[in-house]
């Protein structure tokens, strides 16, 4: 009976109990959406204002103060609009903010190199790279400006008060401590070779402060330098003619006309540059050399100056070297090596001893490749020392020594003393004579890895070039690990390159069937590339790795033909083959490869 009575209780326990599910019909979805949009607008306004302030502080952007006032005013407008109108005012802010950001980005891109622009094919990657580099420099999140609406409003009011006080005259002989201690927002500074400031200017004004007067010649010199920097020039030529001075720049390895100055103005520019470079301004009959530096916004350029007399006056040629590096600090990845070649080269440069040579003509990027190779090596675990003439780029945690021929300090003499400094890795800027070559090879045989450059047409010609310097064949056989031949070819402009059918000779070169390569590209020319059809450059390479066959051929008088056959048999692809592979990939043109390899 107890069992029968307990059965209804069990059934009651297992009976389903209805659950009252709440309804969201009255939830304020629209209010939440508007509030989220308002928060997003606040972040966008304050973030844009912080970015504009950061950019105008670092770059020579014309009218930087006005841009700061504009974006600060948008923050104020958002604040007052939210109070007076309410959340719907955010839509009007977006209609004003987006065009302002686009216009400022265009103005910002005009002040930087093409490879760093945001409104470009690689714009997103440039933004990410800039954020990453800022974090690495300043230690993580500290590099990112604070997105603070209250701070933006406060700064805007401070700027308005400061601009209102500009009309008041300062007491004679007194300068603002803030102006004297800092560079102008749109900064352009000429620096002496020892790093001291020669002349501090702005990109559109006169001197550092109201009390500093700058001559017309210095302003013209600044304008010439600015134009060269903004075109990504590597060399600047000032060529005198009968009544005028022609200004030409070398961009992507090709000279082009940039500007023209009247006779007296041109002489004044040359005189101003000679003074800054510590050259004798009164001496116009003999060649002279000098150096100085230019700080343009966040970028610093070391300038090597060489003058020579001509029938119409002095000709001056300047080499612009970007001290901040660029490719040099990014390792071998950005150099443009094919993946198999990149893997092979990384194995070579991490060997404990040996010699790695980079060869090519002047301006072929040898120094860039050597520096990029050094950046792949851990400088904290290795003692790395460089010997250069002059030191072109500054590298962290690396000992860099400059050659001084006037003080009888040569590559060979420095190399002897450096070998007593317990180095692991050595960089000899250039092998120019037998003595330097012998010491470098002996260092490679005694437990050091040596990087160096040499002027030679290709990797195979390096062997005969070293023999011509008087180096013993046995020393070449045992010391050299690998030789990288290099050229720089112009990259096709992505906006105007035109597809065309590949020539039959190209298909036969790679033993390809007709139709295997649907099309290649050739140059056309547009406004963005200056009508040349090319923008930027890429490297083409050939890597010669020493093996037993090649070592056996290095005799007193080896045949260049036999050396080339042995190199090809060992897997070396010539410069032209590597270039044509990049033609098939659509990166450059057949005409450009033929120009740099023949």
Assess whether 58 and 150 both reside in one domain. yes
Asked whether residue 147 is assigned to any structural domain, the reply reads: yes
160 pLDDT more than 60: no
Assess whether 477 and 335 both reside in one domain. yes
What torsion, rounded to 10 degrees, do the Cα atoms 275, 276, 277, 279 define? 10
59 pLDDT more than 80: no
**Phi/psi at 150 (nearest 5 deg)?**
-60, -40
The average pLDDT across 72-82 equals 76
Residue 113: band (very low, low, confident or very high) from pLDDT cuts 50, 70, 90: low
The average pLDDT across 385-413 equals 81
d(CA 499, CA 258): 30
d(CA 310, CA 287): 10
Asked whether residue 221 is assigned to any structural domain, the reply reads: yes
Helix (H) or strand (E) holding 565: helix 560-569
Alpha helices by DSSP H, 85-122? 89-109
The average pLDDT across 403-423 equals 83
Burial zone of 583 (CB within 10 Å; 0-12 exposed, 13-18 middle, 19+ buried): buried
Assess whether 447 and 299 both reside in one domain. no
Nearest Cα residue to 532 out of 320, 251, 319, 336? 251
Q: Which two tokens stand for residue 453?
A: 């450059």
- pLDDT tens readout for residues 539-565: 999 999 999 999 989 886 788 888 999
d(CA 518, CA 383): 51
Nearest Cα residue to 395 out of 408, 377, 416, 412? 377
Out of 1-5, 174-178, 375-379, 517-521, which region has the weakest mean confidence (pLDDT)?
A: 174-178
According to DSSP, the residues that pair with 487 across neighbouring strands are 540
Asked whether residue 596 is assigned to any structural domain, the reply reads: no
DSSP state of 43: H
From 322, 337, 367, the end of a domain falls on 322
Assess whether 131 and 78 both reside in one domain. yes
- What's the pLDDT score for residue 394? 75
Beta strands 187-191; 197-202: pairing state: antiparallel
Contact 475, 441 (CB under 8 A): yes
Asked whether residue 584 is assigned to any structural domain, the reply reads: no
Asked whether residue 502 is assigned to any structural domain, the reply reads: no
d(CA 342, CA 336): 9
From 272, 305, 322, the end of a domain falls on 322
- What's the pLDDT score for residue 58? 62
Nearest Cα residue to 93 out of 78, 71, 80, 73? 78
d(CA 423, CA 142): 36
DSSP structure string for 379-397: TTTS-EEEEESS--S--TT
Contact 538, 588 (CB under 8 A): yes
Assess whether 299 and 379 both reside in one domain. no
CATH code of the domain containing 480: 3.40.50.300
- What's the pLDDT score for residue 208? 47
Assess whether 232 and 369 both reside in one domain. no
d(CA 341, CA 573): 10
Assess whether 37 and 151 both reside in one domain. yes
Residue 123: band (very low, low, confident or very high) from pLDDT cuts 50, 70, 90: confident
Assess whether 86 and 226 both reside in one domain. no
- What's the pLDDT score for residue 318? 94
Sign of the C-alpha dihedral computed for residues 137, 138, 142 and 146 taken in this order: negative
- pLDDT tens readout for residues 320-333: 988 755 555 667 88
- What's the pLDDT score for residue 429? 87
Number of domains, the chain? 3
Out of 263-272, 328-337, 462-471, 533-542, which region has the weakest mean confidence (pLDDT)?
A: 328-337
DSSP state of 512: P
Assess whether 291 and 367 both reside in one domain. no
Beta strands 254-262; 244-251: pairing state: antiparallel
Residue 486: band (very low, low, confident or very high) from pLDDT cuts 50, 70, 90: very high
31 pLDDT more than 60: yes
DSSP structure string for 298-335: TEEEEEEEEEEEETTEEEEEEEEEETT-SGGGG-SGGG
d(CA 8, CA 14): 10
**Phi/psi at 135 (nearest 5 deg)?**
-65, -40
Domain range enclosing 92: 29-160
Burial zone of 32 (CB within 10 Å; 0-12 exposed, 13-18 middle, 19+ buried): exposed
7 pLDDT more than 80: no
- What's the pLDDT score for residue 60? 58
Assess whether 245 and 287 both reside in one domain. yes
115 pLDDT more than 70: no
DSSP, collapsed to helix, strand or coil, labels residue 359 as strand
Burial zone of 287 (CB within 10 Å; 0-12 exposed, 13-18 middle, 19+ buried): exposed
Asked whether residue 495 is assigned to any structural domain, the reply reads: no
pLDDT above 90 as % of the chain = 29
1 pLDDT more than 50: no
Asked whether residue 376 is assigned to any structural domain, the reply reads: yes
- What's the pLDDT score for residue 4? 46
Contact 174, 164 (CB under 8 A): no
- pLDDT tens readout for residues 181-221: 344 446 788 988 888 888 888 776 544 444 456 788 898 99
Contact 389, 415 (CB under 8 A): no
- What's the pLDDT score for residue 139? 44
Nearest Cα residue to 137 out of 58, 81, 65? 58
- What's the pLDDT score for residue 85? 67
Contact 538, 298 (CB under 8 A): no
pLDDT above 70 as % of the chain = 77
454 pLDDT more than 90: yes
Asked whether residue 176 is assigned to any structural domain, the reply reads: no
CATH code of the domain containing 215: 3.30.450.90
- HSE (side-chain half, CA atoms, 13 Å) at 414: 22
Contact 449, 352 (CB under 8 A): yes
Site of tokens 């007052």 = 80
According to DSSP, the residues that pair with 591 across neighbouring strands are none
Assess whether 312 and 337 both reside in one domain. no
From 322, 338, 353, the end of a domain falls on 322
- What's the pLDDT score for residue 166? 42
Contacts of 587 (CB under 8 A, 6+ apart): 491, 492, 538
Better-predicted residue by pLDDT, 562 or 62 = 562
Alpha helices by DSSP H, 243-293? 263-276
Contact 163, 86 (CB under 8 A): no
Assess whether 306 and 405 both reside in one domain. no
């Amino acid at each position: 009976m107890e069992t029968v009575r307990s059965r209804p209780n069990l059934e009651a326990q297992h009976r389903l109990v209805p659950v009252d599910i709440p309804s969201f019909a009255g939830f304020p979805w629209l209010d939440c959406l508007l509030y989220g949009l308002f928060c997003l607008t606040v972040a966008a306004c304050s973030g844009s204002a912080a970015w504009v302030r950061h950019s105008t502080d670092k770059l020579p952007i014309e009218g930087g103060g006005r841009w700061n006032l504009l974006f600060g005013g948008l923050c104020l407008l958002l604040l007052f609009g939210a109070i007076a109108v309410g959340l719907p005012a955010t839509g009007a802010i977006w209609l004003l903010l987006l065009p302002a950001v686009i216009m400022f980005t265009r103005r910002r891109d005009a002040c930087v190199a093409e490879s760093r622009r945001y409104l470009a094919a690689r714009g997103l990657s440039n933004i990410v790279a800039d954020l990453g580099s800022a974090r690495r420099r300043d230690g993580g999140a500290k590099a990112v400006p604070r997105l603070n609406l209250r701070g933006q409003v406060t700064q805007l009011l401070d700027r308005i008060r400061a601009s209102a006080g500009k009309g008041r005259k300062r007491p004679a002989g007194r300068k603002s401590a803030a102006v004297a201690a800092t560079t102008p927002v749109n900064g352009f500074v000429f620096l002496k070779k020892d790093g001291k400031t020669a002349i501090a200017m702005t990109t559109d004004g006169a001197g550092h402060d109201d009390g500093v007067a700058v001559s017309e010649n210095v302003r013209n010199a600044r304008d010439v330098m600015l134009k060269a920097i903004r075109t990504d020039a590597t060399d600047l030529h000032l060529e005198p003619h009968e009544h005028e001075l022609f200004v030409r720049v070398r961009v992507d390895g090709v000279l082009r006309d940039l500007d023209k100055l009247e006779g007296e103005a041109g002489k004044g520019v040359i005189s101003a540059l000679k003074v800054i470079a510590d050259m004798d301004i009164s001496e116009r009959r003999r060649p002279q050399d000098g150096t100085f530096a230019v700080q343009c916004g966040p970028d610093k350029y070391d300038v090597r100056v060489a003058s020579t007399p001509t029938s119409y006056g002095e000709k001056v040629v300047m080499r612009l070297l970007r001290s901040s590096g660029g490719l040099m600090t990014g390792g071998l990845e950005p150099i443009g090596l094919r993946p198999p070649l990149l893997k092979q080269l990384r194995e070579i440069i991490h060997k404990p001893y040996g010699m790695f040579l980079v060869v090519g003509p002047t301006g072929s990027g040898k120094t860039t490749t050597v520096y990029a190779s050094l950046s792949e090596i851990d400088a904290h675990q290795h003692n790395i020392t460089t010997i250069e003439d002059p030191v072109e780029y500054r590298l962290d945690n690396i000992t860099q020594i400059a050659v001084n021929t006037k003080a009888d300090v040569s590559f060979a003499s420095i190399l002897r003393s450096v070998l007593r400094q317990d180095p692991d890795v050595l960089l000899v800027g250039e092998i120019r004579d037998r003595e330097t070559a012998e010491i470098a090879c002996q260092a490679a045989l005694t437990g050091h890895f040596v990087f160096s450059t040499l002027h030679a047409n290709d990797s195979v010609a390096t062997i005969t070039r070293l023999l011509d310097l008087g180096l013993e064949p046995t020393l070449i056989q045992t010391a050299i690990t690998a030789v990288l031949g290099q050229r720089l070819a112009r990259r096709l402009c992505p906006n105007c390159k035109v597809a065309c059918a590949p020539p039959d000779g190209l298909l036969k070169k790679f033993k390809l069937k007709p139709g295997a390569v649907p099309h290649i590209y050739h140059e056309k020319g547009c406004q963005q590339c200056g009508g040349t059809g090319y923008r930027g450059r890429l490297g083409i390479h050939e890597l010669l790795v020493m093996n037993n066959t090649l070592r056996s051929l290095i005799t007193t008088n080896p045949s260049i033909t036999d050396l080339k056959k042995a190199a090809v048999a060992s897997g070396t692809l010539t410069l032209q083959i590597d270039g044509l592979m990049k033609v098939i990939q659509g990166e450059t043109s057949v005409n450009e490869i033929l120009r740099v390899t023949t």
